[in-house]
Amino acid sequence: MEKLKSLVKSTSYFFLAAAVLLCSSCSVKPTYTRKNISEDIKKLCKNEYDIDVTVWDKKNTIWIFAPIDLIDANGKINQTKDGHWNEDVIRKMQRISTSINRVFLSSDQRPDFYCLIYSSTKNTGIDWYLITFIPDEINYSLQQRNIPLLSSSILFKKVPSFVNYTPLALNDLSGEHIHPYDIDITEFLEILTELSLTNALLKNTDNNKDASSYEEQSVYSISEIKANLSDQTFFLSFDVIQKKFSSEIPRVLEKVKETVEFIVKSYEPFYPIRKAVLTDVFNNNTETIYYSPKYTEHTFSTSQDLIENKYSLKKISRAARFFNQGQIKLSEAKYDTVIEYCEKALKEYPEHILSKTLLGMAYCQLNEPDKALDLLEYVKQKAPNYSPVFYNIGLAYVLKNDYEKAKDAFQEAIRLNDNDIFSYYQLALTYYNKGNYEPAREWAEKIINSSSPLIIPYIKTNAYNILAETYSITNNNEMANEYYDKITVQPAETIEEKNTLAKAYRKTGRLEKALETYNEVLLEVPENIVAKYGIAETYTLMSRTAEAIEKYKELALADPSQREYIYLAIADIYYKTGDTENYVSNLGQTLLVNPDNMAANYALGQFYLHVKEYSKARTFYEHIIKISPDIPDVYYELGLVSFFENDLYKAKDLLLKAKDLFIKQGQHEKAKKIDDALKDIP
């Protein structure tokens, strides 16, 4: 919506130019014919300005498609720092607008409407629609020929414009994704009313500097606005909440009446409206207003193209507004509401690609990857060059623990957009989760070495974290500490960033700082599990044994799904303090939760081997072999059990099995030790 606001703000200059042109050309003898009007617009743009446009002539409506770089390579609006369009964009828009109006004003017969679409076909697919009612524009400009600034202001209010994000626009230089048809007066007035009322409500703000979007600053919260014209009756329903009240802020109904009255009076010569039925959905109230139209200069009939037209501008504009609202709710992590808005958008316009993508993203956040993939695969088929859909497909496969498919999706996203830092990060994370540490490091290093303006502190912090963790796992503590140190100088604003910072302090031995940071997290979010685990681990490293055990026991209640690992952590504390009774007890608790826990079975096998309770040791080792028959150390230690039990034949067989596995796994030093052990067996 912020992009929409900036785009719409920039239109007044072009309406002013059009108004001046209209006024100054009113006496020019017609030089163009209605029959060739579309070809004339194309030729004028090409021959005089070397600009390629696509033009369709649909009876009473001319459509003009103009590819323009509205969005730059970084996905930002192509504007200067002071908020104005870059010079090349301004020049191109002005020349296209001039060409269109020259043809219309010098034509022997004019259509009723023209729809101009500026389309950003690179980087980000965006269509910016501007719908102009030509008789209205000409008549008003002639009436106000001496005060063009006023005329441009009114024209700006009477030309509905909206932005529709669509990956179908990517690389489409001829407008193949556009579906032109003959617009009629009723649809035009419906679109104008919905957009005018939306803009009028959003202009009333409470100056909230902390608000992240235009809608959040508004004193009104718009859920839905729908206009319908039928038999000279204006039906308008609106579901709007007023968030702030004062004598200076008009009530919602006042703004509605003001907007409707402006449109009724402005278009009385073209479409007489006899009554307006205003339905306030939020307050469950309906009010009817009657009008007495004086005259009608034009007669319009309903366009046959509009009947059952699934590509109508009214449907697209509504879907675009619902999509914008869904985006805001996504940033607020209100995923159920995101789904509601996306479903409303798709009800209006079932092929709204971005709403399907956003809906898929919401399902990912709600951990419903199969629902997400159904939607995202559809988008992939419709828009195979749309990088973000592959990114979200990758996220869905991560949720399904299918890291191979996730990796393929992220790589495709990067192939389509090599500036996709978020896919870089997810690819690094995917390799990390698969245990492929070298490629994980490569992608993490690409992030931290990138000069992309899209890199945010969160991404860079997590890239450092992946590098630190992979080096720590592979016992390169010097490199691990180097990257943990880099984390400590990164800004930490979110809860996740603060937890990562605390872990970096813990890993580099700054335990008091780690404890302090974890506690800061718990002050903000008292139930944060990551911080609670961090505190327990920090207490362990500080040898504050009793406090560590107490924290782990609290976690066993707070996070039951992790009890087997919590009991293992407690067992490790007791092992280090020499408390063998509690050590064995907590290993036993682990196996009560999960009898197949490998670490607990192996630890108990080793313990009972050490205390010479060989039959108990055998039980745990043999259970491990049933679960995973390819662990050489288990065969080696079980061979020792058989040796101490004087079952030498079995001991030799187990040791040879261990040797064979050590060799296959490249552990030749351990295989050599087996040979030494076999010397003691006849």
Residue ranges per structural domain of the chain: 1-180, 630-682
3-state secondary structure (DSSP) of residue 669? helix
Give whole-number Cα distances, 228 to 45, 61, 188, 225, 636, in Å.
Answer: 36, 20, 10, 10, 81
**pLDDT at residue 216, rounded to an integer:** 62
3-state secondary structure (DSSP) of residue 61? strand
Q: Which amino acid is at 52?
A: D
**pLDDT at residue 680, rounded to an integer:** 73
CA 439 to chain centre: 26
Specify the pTM: 0.76
Matching residue, tokens 């949720």: 399
Secondary structure element (H or E) that encloses residue 235, with its range: strand 233-242
Separation of first and last alpha carbons in the chain: 83
Residues in the chain, pLDDT under 70: 1-29, 73-75, 83, 136-155, 204-216, 295-308
Structure tokens at 111: 């259509």
Of the candidates 170, 395, 136, 111, which has an alpha carbon nearest to the alpha carbon of residue 271? 136
Rounded-to-integer distance, Cα 108 and Cα 640, Å = 104
32: left (phi over 0), alpha (psi -120 to 50) or beta: beta
Secondary structure element (H or E) that encloses residue 422, with its range: helix 421-434
Three-class DSSP labels, 193-213:
HHHHHHHHHHCCECCCCCCCC
**For strand 220-230 and strand 61-67, is the pairing parallel, antiparallel, or unpaired?**
unpaired
**pLDDT at residue 618, rounded to an integer:** 95
Residues sharing a CB contact under 8 Å with residue 139, sequence separation 6 or more, in sequence order: 269
Rounded-to-integer distance, Cα 107 and Cα 111, Å = 10
Matching residue, tokens 């504007």: 79
**In this predicted model, what pLDDT tens digit does every residue of 527-553 receive, in sequence order?**
999 999 999 999 999 999 999 999 999
Residues sharing a CB contact under 8 Å with residue 324, sequence separation 6 or more, in sequence order: 1, 4, 215
Secondary structure element (H or E) that encloses residue 419, with its range: none
Q: In terms of C-beta distances under 8 Å and separation of at least 24 residues, what long-range contacts does 678-681 make, across chains too?
A: 678/652, 680/643, 681/643, 681/648, 681/651, 681/652, 681/655
Structure tokens at 327: 């985006």
Three-class DSSP labels, 619-678:
HHHHHHHHHCCCCHHHHHHHHHHHHHCCCHHHHHHHHHHHHHHHHHCCCHHHHHHHHHHH
Rounded to the nearest 5 degrees, what angle is found at the Cα of 42, between the Cα atoms of 36 and 47? 115
Structure tokens at 5: 């606001």
Rounded-to-integer distance, Cα 368 and Cα 353, Å = 19
In 110-258 the beta strands, taken as DSSP E runs, fall at 113-120, 126-133, 161-165, 220-230, 233-242
**pLDDT at residue 358, rounded to an integer:** 95
Structure tokens at 354: 């971005």
At residue 597, what are phi and psi to the nearest 5 degrees?
-65, 115
